Amino acid sequence: MITLKLKNALSYYGIVSANAKQPFVTVESNAVADQAVKTGYFDVVEAGEQQKESGSVPSDIPEDAKHTKSDLKKLNKDQQEELITQLGGDPEETKNEEERITLILDLQERQEGQGE
């Protein structure tokens, strides 16, 4: 069994199907995994990694980490919007990258204030 993870896309429907809410796909054969990876939409992940990653935020930026402006600039629009949703915000409130980053930092600060 090979586990694949959708990357940098909201959804993909082809040899396998995945979306931002369900980014992980398990396939039986190496051939199917290879074809999915060749599309450029998937990466092969280890089985244990699925438990620690619950969304489309890149694995090099943990969801519970304090996000910095420079970290957030590395994310694409979809990843920033997913992070806003995870933090309890509404991505529709933003018009551009700067507003998304500001909102993420504000939401993060509010959560930290509640945790104290």
Indicate the number of domains in the chain. 2
Beta bridge partners of 4: 25, 44
Give 49-80 pLDDT, tens digit per residue.
433 344 444 444 455 567 888 888 888 888 88
Cα four-point dihedral sign 22, 79, 12, 59? negative
The answer as to whether 58 is a domain residue is: no
The answer as to whether 102 is a domain residue is: yes
Give 8-64 pLDDT, tens digit per residue.
778 888 889 998 888 888 888 888 888 888 888 888 885 334 333 444 444 444 555
Measured CA to CA, the distance from residue 107 to residue 90 in angstroms comes to 10
Measured CA to CA, the distance from residue 68 to residue 101 in angstroms comes to 9
The answer as to whether 63 is a domain residue is: no
Enclosing H/E stretch for 19: strand 17-19
- Domain coverage including residue 103: 69-115
- Looking at the structure, tell me whether residues 10 and 47 fall in a common domain: yes
- Looking at the structure, tell me whether residues 80 and 45 fall in a common domain: no
The answer as to whether 64 is a domain residue is: no
- Looking at the structure, tell me whether residues 47 and 74 fall in a common domain: no
The answer as to whether 59 is a domain residue is: no
- The reply to whether the predicted model has a pTM over 0.75 is no
